[in-house]
């Protein structure tokens, strides 16, 4: 039972007051009886003409030691019961018992606070607790989580997806981990959830995948005008059409498994946005390294260089890295659609950038201007020599 410290102190003060009142009443009665005895004695021992002079209360206090009655309880004044008279003969008389105060009662503050802690409500919102299944109703499951009342888990909170048979899923005695979703009510019962805990764990796992830059496999479950929906660790994700490899036929993707990367992961707004294209780029980047010879086609010509399609990703062949000779126009060597073999000189997966170089394949500066076909044909052998140059440059820079 939950008891406040203030209520306990009020009770002790009240009982102490009652004891003092009883002691005062007993003292007054003792004075009254003594005065009556003195009057009776005066009547028989003194001449009839003598007048009786009441004894001052102060004198009675001094004579009978009534100050010793202060602070005594009613039980102290009345003495032991008949059944205890024999054993009380050897006990000190009330007159010799020292006065008692509230501080004399058996009251251990440490023990009192420990009792309060023992009766603290079990389970605060957002807390993960472990309990044991102890009962079941048609609308949910009762779980012993160590409180004065069991926790209740509604049927729709028993897990992700649809659970058709609660008895099979949650047999009596099963130990489970749950999340407290609502603190105790007036009966001490808290509301708990397996589903909420599973969702929290799923968001944590997805955030870790995003942090590590991992590629996730998802199953497409539906589509709408803007893209497709999918399932990832029990969470509902969305892939915009612009982030699909085949965005024009996105309806046909339902039921298929796609590799995706993360665009946005927000557990607060329950927003999970994914990209198949970014996953393809990340997968392609994992296959590349600096010094590697790659082959592609010129996809676009810009004033500052050529964009080369390497199969799902593009690399930039800057105009300064095309040839060591002097050229008037990049089209003198490569035109749009031309096949290109080039060395990778820099990789930036985070920004999706690949730097290419063909000048390092030349035997002498400007060779590409006059013998492009020969340079491209011998690119593999020339790349081995060029890689040694790159290593030397890296060592010098280091």
Q: Which residue has the tokens 């981990």?
A: 177
What single DSSP character describes residue 255? T
At residue 116, the pLDDT reads 46
Burial 54-64 (b: 16+ CB within 10 A, else e): eeeeeebeeee
Tell me how far the alpha carbon of residue 225 is from its chain's centroid: 36
Domain boundary, last residue among 259, 281, 303: 281
Rounded CA separation 164/151 (Å)? 21
Q: How open is the CA angle 151-153-158, to the nearest 5 degrees? A: 145
pLDDT tens, the chain, 398 aa long: 445 667 777 777 788 778 888 888 888 888 888 888 777 766 555 554 444 444 444 445 544 455 555 555 555 555 555 545 444 444 444 444 445 555 555 556 666 555 545 455 556 778 888 889 999 888 889 999 887 778 899 988 888 877 778 888 899 999 998 888 887 777 668 898 998 898 999 999 999 999 988 899 999 999 999 999 999 998 999 999 999 988 888 999 999 999 999 999 999 999 999 999 988 888 888 889 988 999 999 999 999 999 999 987 899 999 999 999 999 999 999 999 999 999 999 998 877 899 999 999 998 999 999 999 999 999 998 998 888 878 777 777 65
Q: Does any domain span residue 118?
A: no
For residue 78, what are the CA distances in angstroms to 39, 75, 303, 383? 25, 5, 114, 114
Domain that holds residue 268: 213-281
Q: Which residues pair with 51 in a beta bridge?
A: none
Those residues with Cβ within 8 angstroms of residue 286's Cβ, 6 or more apart along the chain or in another chain: none
Indicate if 168 and 189 belong to the same structural domain. yes
- On whether the CB atoms of residues 293 and 383 are closer than 8 A, the answer is yes
Indicate if 300 and 262 belong to the same structural domain. no
> From the CB of residue 204, how many other CB atoms can be counted at a distance below 10 Å?
12
Indicate if 99 and 139 belong to the same structural domain. no
Q: Does any domain span residue 147?
A: yes
Indicate if 362 and 292 belong to the same structural domain. yes
> From the CB of residue 8, how many other CB atoms can be counted at a distance below 10 Å?
13
Domain boundary, last residue among 244, 264, 281: 281
For residue 340, what are the CA distances in angstroms to 11, 286, 308, 368? 94, 21, 8, 12
Rounded CA separation 369/153 (Å)? 77
- On whether the CB atoms of residues 145 and 127 are closer than 8 A, the answer is no
Indicate if 306 and 265 belong to the same structural domain. no
Alpha helices in the chain (DSSP H): 5-45, 57-64, 74-78, 85-88, 109-118, 166-169, 194-211, 276-285, 367-377, 379-397
Indicate if 173 and 269 belong to the same structural domain. no
Q: Does any domain span residue 119?
A: no
Phi, psi (degrees; rounded to nearest 5) at 122: -95, 125
Rounded CA separation 108/101 (Å)? 15
Indicate if 83 and 138 belong to the same structural domain. no
Q: Does any domain span residue 146?
A: yes
Alpha helices in 85-139 (DSSP H): 85-88, 109-118
Q: Does any domain span residue 203?
A: no
Indicate if 192 and 263 belong to the same structural domain. no
Indicate if 15 and 85 belong to the same structural domain. yes
- On whether the CB atoms of residues 244 and 227 are closer than 8 A, the answer is yes
- On whether the CB atoms of residues 144 and 134 are closer than 8 A, the answer is yes
Provide the number of structural domains found in the chain. Answer: 4
Q: Does any domain span residue 223?
A: yes
Indicate if 391 and 304 belong to the same structural domain. yes
What single DSSP character describes residue 378? T
Rounded CA separation 140/289 (Å)? 56
Structure tokens at 17: 């007051």
Q: Which residues pair with 89 in a beta bridge?
A: none
What length is written for the chain?
A: 398
At residue 113, the pLDDT reads 56
Q: Does any domain span residue 365?
A: yes
Indicate if 323 and 371 belong to the same structural domain. yes
Q: Does any domain span residue 27?
A: yes
Domain boundary, last residue among 281, 299, 316: 281
Please report, for the domain that includes residue 257, its CATH number.
Answer: 2.40.50.140
Q: Could you tell me if residue 310 is left (phi over 0), alpha (psi between -120 and 50 degrees) or otherwise beta?
A: alpha
- Residue 357's nearest CA partner among 396, 315, 385, 298 is 315
Indicate if 294 and 277 belong to the same structural domain. no
Segment (H or E) for 129 = strand 128-137
Residue 33's SS3 state is: helix
Phi, psi (degrees; rounded to nearest 5) at 19: -65, -40
């Amino acid at each position: 039972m939950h008891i406040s410290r203030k209520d306990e102190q009020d009770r002790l003060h009240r009982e102490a007051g009652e004891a003092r009142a009883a002691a005062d009443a007993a003292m007054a009665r003792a004075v009254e009886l003594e005065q009556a005895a003195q009057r009776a004695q005066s009547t028989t021992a003194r001449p009839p003409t003598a007048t009786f002079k009441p004894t001052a209360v102060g004198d009675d206090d001094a004579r009978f030691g009534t100050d010793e009655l202060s602070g005594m309880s009613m039980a102290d004044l009345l003495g032991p019961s008949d059944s205890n008279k024999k054993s009380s003969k050897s006990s000190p008389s009330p007159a010799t018992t020292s006065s008692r105060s509230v501080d004399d009662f058996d009251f251990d503050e440490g023990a009192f606070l420990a009792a309060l802690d023992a009766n603290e409500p079990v389970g605060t919102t957002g807390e993960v607790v472990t309990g044991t299944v102890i009962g079941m109703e048609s609308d949910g499951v009762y779980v012993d989580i160590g409180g004065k009342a069991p926790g209740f888990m509604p049927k729709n909170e028993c897990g992700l997806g649809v659970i058709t048979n609660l008895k099979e899923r949650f047999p009596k005695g099963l130990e489970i981990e749950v999340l407290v979703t609502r603190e105790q009510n007036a009966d001490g019962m808290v509301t708990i959830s397996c589903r909420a805990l599973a969702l929290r764990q799923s968001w944590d796992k997805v955030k870790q995948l995003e942090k590590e830059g991992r590629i996730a496999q998802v199953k497409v479950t539906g589509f709408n005008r803007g893209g497709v929906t999918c399932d990832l660790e029990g969470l509902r994700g969305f892939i915009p059409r612009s982030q699909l490899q085949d965005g024009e036929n996105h309806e046909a993707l339902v039921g298929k498994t796609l590799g995706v990367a993360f665009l946005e992961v927000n557990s607060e707004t329950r927003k999970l946005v994914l990209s198949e294209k970014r996953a393809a780029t990340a997968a392609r980047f994992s296959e590349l390294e600096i010094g590697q010879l790659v082959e592609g086609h010129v996809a676009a010509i810009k004033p500052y260089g050529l964009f080369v399609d390497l199969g799902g990703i593009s690399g930039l062949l800057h105009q300064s890295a095309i040839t060591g000779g002097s050229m008037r126009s990049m089209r003198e060597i490569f035109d749009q659609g031309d096949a290109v073999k080039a060395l990778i000189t820099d990789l930036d997966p985070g920004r999706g950038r690949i730097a290419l170089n063909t000048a390092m394949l030349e035997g002498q500066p400007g060779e590409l201007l006059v013998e492009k076909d020969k340079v491209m044909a011998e690119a593999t052998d020339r790349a081995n020599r060029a890689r040694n140059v790159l290593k030397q440059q890296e060592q010098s820079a280091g």
